Amino acid sequence: MKSNFISNHDAQDSVFANLLTDYMFKRVYGNKDVLLSFLNMVLTDIEVADLEYQSPETLGNSPNERKAIYDLKCKSKDGEIFIVEMQLARQKHFIDRSLYYSSLAVNQQANSANSQARLVHREWDYALNPVIFIAFINFELQHQDDFPAGEYISEYMLKETTTGELMTNLQRYIFIELPRFSAQAD
């Protein structure tokens, strides 16, 4: 798929880099300016001014719990946490993994807040920073029949099922389905 590559058309022999490999994905989106530009393009309701990269690994609460290894994990100055993943191969329980990864980021906030609260002898009030999970996936999700054919980005948040009223935007899941993407040549 042509849209999966960066091309240097000025060179006599074109050079291509496959963005679907972990190495190239992290090289491109590990650049703060590129990632900021991307986040601000995808997240039209918030503006991300700056990022701080965080450890790409989160351990479970005990040695027996599963850990998470993210492709990229960042935090904005406003406290939003961004987990950016590239998933090349279809994974049977990828949605479950997405929920687990974002839940660990929520849990880390509680652990951090509880540790700080104990230091100053006060209780944590459960205030959370948003966790936004963004995944580039090289497969299509199972959508309802009325999902628009030309759409390649789907976004999920916690909503009331009858009215669609937003409960919270503290956990967001954005999936960019690469097989649905078709580049328009000008």
d(CA 26, CA 72) in angstroms, rounded, equals 7
Closest residue by Cα to residue 36 from 53, 21, 22? 53
Tell me phi and psi for residue 80, to 5 degrees: -65, 140
**pLDDT tens digits for range 50-80:** 988 888 888 777 778 887 888 899 999 889 9
Q: Where exactly are the structural domains of the chain?
A: 2-7+28-180
pTM: 0.81
CA distances from 129 to 2, 104, 171 (A): 37, 13, 9
Q: What is the pLDDT of residue 22?
A: 83
Q: Give the count of beta carbons closer than 10 Å to the beta carbon of residue 25.
A: 20
Q: What is the pLDDT of residue 148?
A: 86
Better pLDDT: 120 or 160: 160
Q: What is the pLDDT of residue 113?
A: 59
87 strand-pairing partners: 137
pLDDT at 5 exceeding the cut of 50: no
